[in-house]
Structure 1
Amino acid sequence: MNQKKLPVQKNDIVTVEIEDLTHEGAGVAKIEGYALFIPNTIPGEVIEAKVLKTNKGYGFAKLLTVKEEVQSRIEPPCPIFHECGGCQIQHLNYEAQLDFKRNQVVNVLERLGGIKDVPVYPTLGMEEPWKYRNKSQVPFGERDGQLIAGFYQKRSHRIIDMDHCIIQQEENDIAIQAIKEIAARYQIKPYDEEKHRGTLRHVVVRYGKKTGELMVVLVTRGKELPHKQNIIDDIKEALPKVTSIVQNINGNKTNVIFGEKTLLLWGEEYIHDYIGDIRFAISARSFYQVNPVQTQVLYEKALEYADLKGHETVIDAYCGIGTISLFLAQKAKKVLGVEIVPEAISDAKHNARINSLDNVDFAVGEAEKVIPWWYSQGVRPEVLVVDPPRKGCDEKLLETIIQMKAERVVYVSCNPATLARDLKVLEEGGYQTKQVQPVDMFPQSTHVESVTQLTLKQ
């Protein structure tokens, strides 16, 4: 198909009906079988759009007007929703968001995993799907000589200046604004990523919802921070809840937020928070779920699917700072956790100590190497829990799971596509997918987490 044969051309104005949503939340319309992806639209709507770009098999368009609305459309409450890349589906009411996420899981499991006739339950949502994020990481920049801080515009590195975000905990917003004012007061230059100059790159704020403890992390290009003591004093005065002020140094030309070196400027190295009855120490670079309310929902479901009676040995692959491990340790005889990041394992061991849980051990290393070694040493778990990154489980780990023949596998997933791929492998290796529970960890965004229970076929 050459460009002349396409049913639409760039800059065409078209009227179309939206048929579906992509996993990124964009509407899908078809003209003579040719797919157009149109953000901020909803299935069932008739809309007018302008074609922005055409490829051989599909194109992209921009919504101009909605000619026929559907009931699930709402006015996005955020004033910068259409510019900011943080949320994608604020224009859907919450019930429709939950349906979209369940459908995403169902469709991907069927299409990529060939998994049908398995219960996929309605998505577990929040009573209040706003102001849930306990961590804010904000780039700093300059515009017209003024210091700005906010989020990146969609598909760009242009900062959208903002004074509050309606999915962030209020304490985070207050902290970011205070630091913006303090940095401006002492004329701290923001980092310029093109020229690799300036001092302040990002500010990261972490808040313990149950404890009220607040951590401020100043990410700088070098060790030098002008007016350091004045800045520390002003942060303490402006933010009475602050218990930790940290500097992280990132001198690399990169869009990765953190560098390798972290210095404690004032207060404690950790802040604390609770998920259920388990207390967690959270350092500047710890991975800790950003939605503590839904994290408890997610982990309680994982615990339910593990179906522990008290005599089991459990392996927790990709254990992070021990969040799921410690939940499981409340009901299991023994829990073994493995994680590739040494600092995370250090935090996990600390978290086990502060919760007086002595039936859990942690190891540093790649799950796909450590778990086979455990197996060679005679470890035979009844339950295996995996909570991998978006890329899913390593092939060798899946092979080991199949070889170990654990009675139950609990798969906590943040990516339905890699979940479907991995479930297909496990099913071919002798497991049966029993049930899937989507959980809405990130309201207003397209992301969906899920917990899947598998059992060994008899």
Structure 2
Amino acid sequence: MKKTKQKFKGNNKKNNSKKASGKRGSSKKEIVEAKCIDIDAEGKGIVNYNGQEIRISNLIKDETAKIEIIKKGRHITGNLLKVLKPSPKRVKARCPHYDKCGGCQLQHMSYKDQFQHKQLMVEKLMKPFAKVNSIITMDNPYDYRNKAHATYSYKNGKIVSGFYEEKSHKVIPVDRCLIQSTKADDIHKTIRKLMKSFKMNPYDEDTGRGLIRHVLVKVGFATKEIMVILVTPSTMFASKNNFIKALRKEHPEIKTIIMNINNKRTSMVLGDREKVLYGKGTIQDTLCGYTFNISSKSFYQVNPKQTEKLYGKAIEMANFKGNEVVMDAYSGIGTIGIILSKNVKSVIGVELNKDAVRDSIKNAKQNQVNNARFYQGDAGEFMLKMKESGEKLDVVIMDPPRSGSDEKFLSSLVKISPKKVVYISCNPITQARDMKFLAKHGYKAEEIQPVDMFPQTAHVECVVLMSRVDK
């Protein structure tokens, strides 16, 4: 690492005194040249600074760059100033907001190099368990997200919508997000126009005044049905009927509009209360030949095209014979449980979210699936009760959140001892951690399949088959 410049914050003599340098909050900056030695799981380049690894956005392995090192106490961070020796993998990001937004992490790499990086990352994590299949990629790695969220604000006296700048609450105006539905972008554009004509103000975090905090748009890719969720600080909404009429006139494919009330000073987007302003409060989409109801808070995979490939692979891995009893843990609105139901004797779905359970029961009924039952509760506790009553499970399908599962759930799984575990995860790091626990308790990884569900980002989905090793 080559040092090129060093200075303290500010230029006056006071900043260079011992008294000033010891002040709480003072920072020391240094400009250095450094070589990127690797890329981490968040898509950031890693450079070595005095024996410490520093993460730098938009940097590729083997690149040399000019970097600003910022030291605040023991905390050290860095910013990319200029790439001096670019990698052949580097491309110009298509999004003009890429350097500030933070929603995508790998647009500065060609798509081929993106998925090759993800392949190597999964192989490194899964090396102790089994060989990793080649990653399943996308034909078109753009316009895939069926859920689009935007924050509304003022900028230079103009109503804007977009995303928070990385590590801040400053809104970056975005007219077109390249990874989400183009229809969602059009709706956000219309809402901004209508807000101006209806004299509606975006919410101000500092004063607590204004009406529109966030807007979420959910799109049924197969059905073309659209849900709009308006997040507001209160139930007061003047001229709401005329606003809804004007919005639907521009976009008749909008099937439902919901007002979600969030009056808390929080980074959480959705509040606990909501009111349906138009329609049934749900939309439908079709996945793997089955139709699903989607509500405002229900979890539904954001990339339907890749989800069909993911679920197809998971079912193929399980190699069902038709007589299995299967638990769909973390079952959400019942998607994978309902889709695999035709291949097995029965499905038991368990989910904590009561709204999702309600949706899953409706989804099973409307798809005429009679061998699937869905329950609200903790899946680990449910398995223990099954064990106590002498019931058995042949296969457990689990798709936990990014934080992975916990030892309580995994211990319950081991006690009921299904023959197979199909583990779907959007975070291979926590997945590998949980696989290590299962491997210590009698399970062996048979097949590992990464799927690129989130092109342009550092995230990757992975499905793993683990089988019980009989003693």
| Fold-level similarity (TM above 0.5) | yes
1:3-42 equivalent positions in 2, closer than 5 A = 10-42=28-60
The alignment partner of 1:181 has SS state of helix
Identify the match of residue 89 of structure 2 among 72, 75, 87.
72
Identify the match of residue 104 of structure 1 among 121, 134, 138.
121
1:52 is aligned to 2:64: no
Q: Deviations over 1:38-58 (max 9, x none)?
A: 2111012122222133675x8
Q: Distance in 2 between matches of 1:87 and 1:242?
A: 27
Identify the match of residue 227 of structure 2 among 204, 212, 215.
215
Q: Which amino acid aligns with 2:245?
A: D
Runs of 4+ in 1 over 4 A off after TM superposition: none
Q: Deviations over 1:405-435 (max 9, x none)?
A: 2111000011122111111110111001112
TM-superposed deviation, 1:71: 1.6
Q: Distance in 2 between matches of 1:357 and 1:188?
A: 46
TM-superposed deviation, 1:10: 4.2
Asked if the contact 2:384/2:415 (under 8 Å) is kept, the reply is no
Q: Which amino acid aligns with 1:395?
A: E
Q: Distance in 2 between matches of 1:218 and 1:35?
A: 42
Asked if the contact 2:381/2:412 (under 8 Å) is kept, the reply is no
TM-superposed deviation, 1:173: 0.5
Identify the match of residue 328 of structure 2 among 316, 323, 339.
316
1:402-417 equivalent positions in 2, closer than 5 A = 402-417=414-429
TM-superposed deviation, 1:216: 1.1
TM-superposed deviation, 1:240: 2.1
The alignment partner of 1:42 has SS state of coil
Asked if the contact 1:338/1:366 (under 8 Å) is kept, the reply is yes
Q: Distance in 1 between matches of 2:335 and 2:168?
A: 34
Identify the match of residue 100 of structure 2 among 83, 86, 94.
83
TM-superposed deviation, 1:106: 2.6
Asked if the contact 1:99/1:122 (under 8 Å) is kept, the reply is no
1:270 is aligned to 2:257: no
Asked if the contact 1:439/1:450 (under 8 Å) is kept, the reply is yes
Q: Distance in 2 between matches of 1:60 and 1:32?
A: 13
Q: Deviations over 1:22-69 (max 9, x none)?
A: 11111112245332322111012122222133675x843222222222
Identify the match of residue 422 of structure 1 among 423, 431, 434.
434
**TM-score calculated relative to the size of structure 2:** 0.91
Name the stretch that deviates more: 137-146 or 92-101.
Answer: 137-146
Tell me what 1:329 maps to. Answer: 341
1:222-261 equivalent positions in 2, closer than 5 A = 222-261=234-273
Asked if the contact 1:316/1:386 (under 8 Å) is kept, the reply is yes
Equivalent pairs, count = 446
Q: Distance in 2 between matches of 1:86 and 1:391?
A: 19
Q: Which amino acid aligns with 2:192?
A: K
The alignment partner of 1:103 has SS state of helix
Q: Distance in 2 between matches of 1:330 and 1:185?
A: 52
Q: Which amino acid aligns with 1:130?
A: Y
Asked if the contact 2:226/2:283 (under 8 Å) is kept, the reply is yes
The alignment partner of 2:99 has SS state of coil
Q: Distance in 2 between matches of 1:13 and 1:440?
A: 36
For the structure 1 residues 55 and 21, does the alpha-carbon distance in structure 2 shift closer, same or farther, using more than 3 Å as the test?
farther
The alignment partner of 1:303 has SS state of helix
Asked if the contact 2:329/2:349 (under 8 Å) is kept, the reply is yes
Q: Which amino acid aligns with 2:101?
A: C
Asked if the contact 1:317/1:339 (under 8 Å) is kept, the reply is yes
Q: Deviations over 1:83-138 (max 9, x none)?
A: 1121111001111111221222233345xxxx24x111222110000000111111
TM-superposed deviation, 1:207: 0.7
Tell me what 1:197 maps to. Answer: 209
Q: Distance in 1 between matches of 2:181 and 2:291?
A: 20
For the structure 1 residues 76 and 193, does the alpha-carbon distance in structure 2 shift closer, same or farther, using more than 3 Å as the test?
same
Asked if the contact 2:380/2:413 (under 8 Å) is kept, the reply is no
Asked if the contact 2:126/2:132 (under 8 Å) is kept, the reply is no
Q: Which amino acid aligns with 2:140?
A: E
The alignment partner of 2:213 has SS state of strand
Asked if the contact 1:109/1:417 (under 8 Å) is kept, the reply is no
Q: Which amino acid aligns with 1:103?
A: L
Q: Distance in 2 between matches of 1:166 and 1:290?
A: 14
Q: Which amino acid aligns with 2:168?
A: S
Asked if the contact 1:303/1:327 (under 8 Å) is kept, the reply is no
Query: What stretches of structure 1 of length at least 5 have no aligned partner?
Result: 1-8
The alignment partner of 1:18 has SS state of strand
Q: Deviations over 1:235-271 (max 9, x none)?
A: 1111121111111112222221112222221123221
Tell me what 2:149 maps to. Answer: 137
For the structure 1 residues 253 and 16, does the alpha-carbon distance in structure 2 shift closer, same or farther, using more than 3 Å as the test?
closer
Asked if the contact 1:35/1:59 (under 8 Å) is kept, the reply is no
TM-superposed deviation, 1:197: 2.2
Q: Distance in 1 between matches of 2:133 and 2:414?
A: 26
Name the stretch that deviates more: 75-84 or 187-196.
Answer: 187-196
Q: Which amino acid aligns with 1:317?
A: A
Q: Which amino acid aligns with 1:453?
A: L
Q: Deviations over 1:122-176 (max 9, x none)?
A: 2211000000011111111122332111011001111101111111111111111
Q: Which amino acid aligns with 2:113?
A: A
Calculate percent identity across the aligned residue pairs.
Answer: 37
Identify the match of residue 186 of structure 1 among 195, 198, 206.
198
TM-superposed deviation, 1:443: 0.8
Q: Distance in 2 between matches of 1:34 and 1:84?
A: 26
